[in-house]
Chain A
Amino acid sequence: MRRLIPCLLLLLPAFAAADSPWRLGVVMGYGERSNPLLNSDDVPIVVDLDIAYFGKRFFFDNGDLGLTLADNELVTASVMARVRSDRVFFGRTNTRFINIGSAGQGLESPVEITVPDRDYAAEAGVELLSDGRWGFLQVNAFHDISGTHNGYELDIDYGIGFRAGRWYLRPSCGLSYKSADLNDYYWGVRPSEASEALPAYEAGAGINTRARLSANYYFSRNWMLALSAEYERLNDEAAGSPIVTDEAVLGYFAGFGYRF
């Protein structure tokens, strides 16, 4: 690692070239993403790295891998692979002891209540991108290929950019349809995980909705103030789970960024 960092620094001018296939940036500041799970901590965000490579066909974008099959005036179509990020919520939960049951009844002795653990899932799918003066449209379809949840997700997002002097604002919104298998894996409670305090729960399919506003103030071509806020409403099947206490995930971030 000690040798790798000086090598990367030497390569930075190549990354920064206008026609470079690389896109590198870093933002430092503070933000949080709320955790909808029972007995959980919010997810802090202090540093955000942007590491992406866009070749003629192959691309890597912050963990997403893609192979572009078609690119024309109307649409860019790619096959994709990614790791599902919902697992991040389950890594920040705590164990508590309670003496009230799930039906509100008093318990004879305190019962341990722990949110069950869930795994990351590898997923493959397709992505369609289109843009114009009307904005930017992204459609994704992903299916589990790791045998983790065996479900699928369909996403659609729309965004548009507005310039106002040195500010650049990007409001966007989107929908995600989550299949019953996917929803149930993350938000369900198996009978084997249930207790007096945590009833079994089977989640069906549902649609999440979200909205985001990003605002960047550019001090120069490279330096900027970066602000972002996002609201995601969980689908009713997820929000109704006994391991979920908040029906929405709220995120915000404010910091300074540098794009190489």
Chain B
Amino acid sequence: MAAADDSSDGEASLAVKPLLCIVDQRTPSCNMRFLITWQSREAGYYCVSSDLDDAALRCWGEAQSGRHEDHREVVETFRYWLNRGADQPELASATVEVLRKDSDDRRRRRRTKYVWDLL
């Protein structure tokens, strides 16, 4: 479960790892190095983009697969996606999820005697 793609049109797939960042009050962000790989049945012009960037992270011309490393500080859930360039539909995507172990509501962290606070 280290990598997965959320959606794919069957023609192309996108895999990202890692896909999970755990944050709490003491460590409010994750310094992560993502390995992004994609494959397509047909060669062409493809770009990998993210929710956090205005421009594509990287584009490939006449390629059937690609690999890219992205280093960033993660504080919120976001997606990477593959398409054929600006304003083109997504072919595949992957979501990097942020799991918050803290909460604005302290009561969600209280200890109870009935369960073992396992979750």
> A-side interface residues toward B, CB under 8 Å?
23, 25, 27, 31, 45, 48-50, 52, 54, 59, 61-64, 66, 68, 71, 76, 78, 82, 85, 127, 129-133, 136, 138, 157, 159-163, 166, 168, 170, 172, 174, 212, 214, 216, 218-221, 223-224, 226, 228, 230, 251, 253, 255, 257, 259
Interface string of B12-24 (1 = CB under 8 A from A): 0000001110111
Which residue of B24, B26, B110 contacts A138 across the interface (Cβ within 8 Å)? B110
Give Cα A170 to B106, complex, Å.
Answer: 16
Complex contacts, A136 vs chain B, CB 8 Å: 106, 109
Return chain A residues, CB-CB under 8 Å to B25.
Answer: 131-133
Question: Which B residues are in CB contact (< 8 Å) with A138?
Answer: 110-111
Distance to closest chain A CB from B103 (angstroms):
9
Quote the shortest CB–CB distance from A131 to chain B (angstroms).
6
Smallest CB separation, A133 vs chain B (Å): 5
Instruction: Give min CB distance, B39 to chain A, whole Å.
Output: 23
Question: What is the CB-to-nearest-CB distance from B80 to chain A, in angstroms, rounded to a whole number?
Answer: 16
Q: Are A54 and B105 in contact, CB atoms less than 8 angstroms apart?
A: yes
Min Cβ gap A221→B in Å is 4
Check if B88 is an interface residue, CB within 8 A of chain A: no
Distance, CA A4 to CA B106, complexed state (A): 31
Complex: A129 Cα to B114 Cα, angstroms: 18
Q: Contact at B24–A161, with CB atoms within 8 Å?
A: yes
| Further 12 A-B residue pairs, CB within 8 A, beyond A61-B112, A131-B106, A161-B26 | A48-B116, A50-B115, A52-B108, A59-B107, A78-B107, A129-B106, A131-B25, A131-B102, A160-B26, A168-B101, A223-B1, A259-B119
Chain A min CB distance to B116 (Å): 5
CB atoms of A218 and B107 under 8 A apart? no
CB–CB A64/B105 < 8 A: no
CB-based contact B107/A76 at 8 Å: yes
Contact for B110 among A61, A163, A220, A228, CB less than 8 A: A61
- B118: chain A residues at CB < 8 Å are 27, 48, 50, 214, 216, 226, 228, 253, 255, 257
**Chain A, residue nearest B100 (CB):** A18
Scoring B residues 34 to 58 as 1 if CB is less than 8 Å from chain A, else 0, what string do you get? 0000000000000000000000000
Name 16 A/B residue pairs within 8 A (Cβ), A-sorted: A50-B119, A64-B112, A64-B114, A68-B107, A76-B106, A85-B114, A129-B107, A129-B109, A129-B110, A136-B109, A161-B26, A168-B101, A220-B97, A228-B118, A253-B118, A257-B118
Q: What are the residues of chain B within 8 A of A71 when measuring CB–CB?
A: 106
> Is the beta-carbon distance between A220 and B119 smaller than 8 angstroms?
no
How far apart are the CA atoms of A129 and B108 in the complex, in Å? Answer: 10
Query: Contact at B119–A257, with CB atoms within 8 Å?
Result: yes
Do A216 and B116 contact each other (CB < 8 Å), given the known contacts A131-B25, A133-B25? no
Bound Cα distance A45, B117 (Å):
13
B107 touches A224 (CB 8 A): no
| 9 residue pairs, one from A and one from B, having the closest CB atoms | A25-B119, A226-B118, A129-B106, A76-B106, A221-B97, A219-B1, A228-B116, A27-B118, A63-B114
The answer to whether B20 touches A220 (Cβ under 8 A) is: yes
Among residues of B, the one whose C-beta sits closest to the C-beta of A129 is B106
Chain B residues whose CB sits within 8 angstroms of the CB of A59 once the complex forms: 107
